[in-house]
Amino acid sequence: MNDTQPATALPPLTKIVATIGPATAERSALRGLIEAGAAVFRLNFSHGSLDDHQAVVEGLRAESEAAGRVIAIMGDLPGLKVRVGPIEGAGVEVRDGDTAIFQRPPIPASTGTSPHRFNTTYEGLIDDVKVGDRVLVNEGVVRMRIVEVRKHEIVCTVTTGGVVSSGKGVNLPDSRVNAPVPTERDAECVRWAIDHDLDFLAQSFVRSAEDISRLRTLIARELERSGRVQERLPIIAKIEHPAALQEIEAIIDAADGIIIARGDLGVETELARVPVMQRMLTAAAQAAGKPCLVATHMLESMIDAPAPTRAEVSDVATAVFAGADAVMLSGETAIGKFPARAVEFMVRIAREVEQAQAAEPPAQSPPAKPMRARHRTAALAHGAFTIAADYGAKFIAVWSQQGGGARLLSQNNFTIPILAFSSDRAAVCRMQILRGVCPVPSDPPRTLSGFTAMVDRVVLEAGWARRGDRCILIAGGPLGTQGVTNTLALHEVGCPDSGFICHGDVS
């Protein structure tokens, strides 16, 4: 690239998560999602077989390598999702005022008039509910209230009628479900995720920090089984039940990040409260320095339409303005007709918002996180915020062997990209979930001046910068070692006399 050519755009600061399903399981579709700009790929273990997911993992890794792109793969554990048991045909229509009975033994659903009889996939349902609790079916389309609890069945009155069909979800917003967590199916998926080197696990229906602790114990046991006792598999807690809101600080502290799963959250709580909860949860994750993903119904109309609605565009933009690390597509890419286009729209929305934010007057430096205020890398990251604004830096380059330095930088809500170099494959992939961080796999140079030269070569060859562009370099020595970040330098791309000076070189 010559010096007069415009720089090639880096990915947006906000990461795009794409859920894989029947619409995107083939190699060509996976390639399209990667090229469109998806950074993280979600495997929903509630659907499909593990053999199906293995083919997807192999396809993603082959296509990302061919495209020269870094991606992360997240497995989404099923958790305990209560569903309606088998019903013949298209389902049973229940009307307002009808009586519906959920019975413990598996039975065929009644097809006549009230009372209607059903069963669920969770036999302990009857033991965990009480009179007055709500029972919501099919994302709350059908609503019931329990009027009697018997030894082997519960009796409900239908308050909002509709069709009850096989496999529809059953939500219990007022009940404390006492099923074991993680489930047997979760354990099977954890073992598979470790054997196939997935980058994250999302834990469904988290209600307490203890849920996360139990999953972490299971992960540690499976890692030990595979001879990888020094490794860890990050857990992203899905917030989709009101009980989680009562313990949100403890949950965020126990997890490695959160997903605001607005689908079930909007069923379990008052729908009008969801935007308020989204804002609160985003702020709580940011205060703790943990990644936050916003999910569900973001571009829902694109399951069938080639463009989103204006309201959906505003919804995605709101999440980006709030500083969410990532926005997630579910049905849009899993079963939608225009999966790659949905990712492209997400990228376009994120870019527009981020460009507007970058054009605003520089904000004051964000307060240091109390838990990290005395950590030297956190201090460098915090100081870099002010320096970047004063110096007019176009980007930050950091050597972040395990991703910790990149995460600390990401917490400061930069409006410029953070190029995070590492020789650790797992760390490179896991940094893809962090807002603003563009991970770059690299062998560690022997000296800090060698790191400066490597940064120049990478950004000029990729077209990410021009000669003379200002940037900030953060590293330590020896490079490739965890926890030694201690140096910050101002640099002009392509100028060998700027950046880390000889006295900072470490062999």
Q: Give the per-residue SS3 of 412-433.
A: CCCCCCEEEEECCHHHHHHHHH
Per-residue model confidence (pLDDT) at position 369: 52
Q: Which residues does the chain have with pLDDT short of 70?
A: 1-7, 108-111, 362-376, 477-485, 497-507
Per-residue model confidence (pLDDT) at position 72: 98
Per-residue model confidence (pLDDT) at position 104: 86
d(CA 344, CA 316): 13
Q: At 384, which amino acid appears? A: A
Per-residue model confidence (pLDDT) at position 59: 98
Distances from the Cα of 482 to the Cα of 122, 385, 423, 424, 448, angstroms? 46, 23, 11, 10, 15
CB 506 within 8 A of CB 447: yes
Classify residue 477 as exposed, middle or buried by CB count within 10 Å of its CB (0-12, 13-18, 19+): buried
d(CA 193, CA 211): 19
Per-residue model confidence (pLDDT) at position 286: 93
pLDDT tens per residue, range 438-468: 999 999 888 888 999 999 999 999 999 999 9
Per-residue model confidence (pLDDT) at position 504: 39
Per-residue model confidence (pLDDT) at position 255: 98
Helix (H) / strand (E) containing 76: strand 72-76
Per-residue model confidence (pLDDT) at position 6: 45
Helix (H) / strand (E) containing 406: helix 404-410
Q: In this structure, what are the phi and psi dihedrals at residue 147, rounded to the nearest 5 degrees?
A: -110, -15
Per-residue model confidence (pLDDT) at position 371: 44
Q: Considering only CA atoms, which of 336, 321, 248, 294 is closest in space to residue 29?
A: 336
* 334 Cβ contact list (under 8 Å, min separation 6): 19, 20, 21, 22, 23, 24, 44
CB 408 within 8 A of CB 372: yes
Q: At 472, which amino acid appears? A: I
Whole-prediction pTM: 0.90
Per-residue model confidence (pLDDT) at position 1: 42
Q: Which domains does the chain have, with CATH numbers?
A: 16-80+183-358 (3.20.20.60), 92-171 (2.40.33.10), 370-504 (3.40.1380.20)
DSSP character string of 223-275: HHHTT-TT----EEEEE-SHHHHTTHHHHHHHSSEEEEEHHHHHHHS-GGGHH
3-class DSSP assignment, residue 439: strand
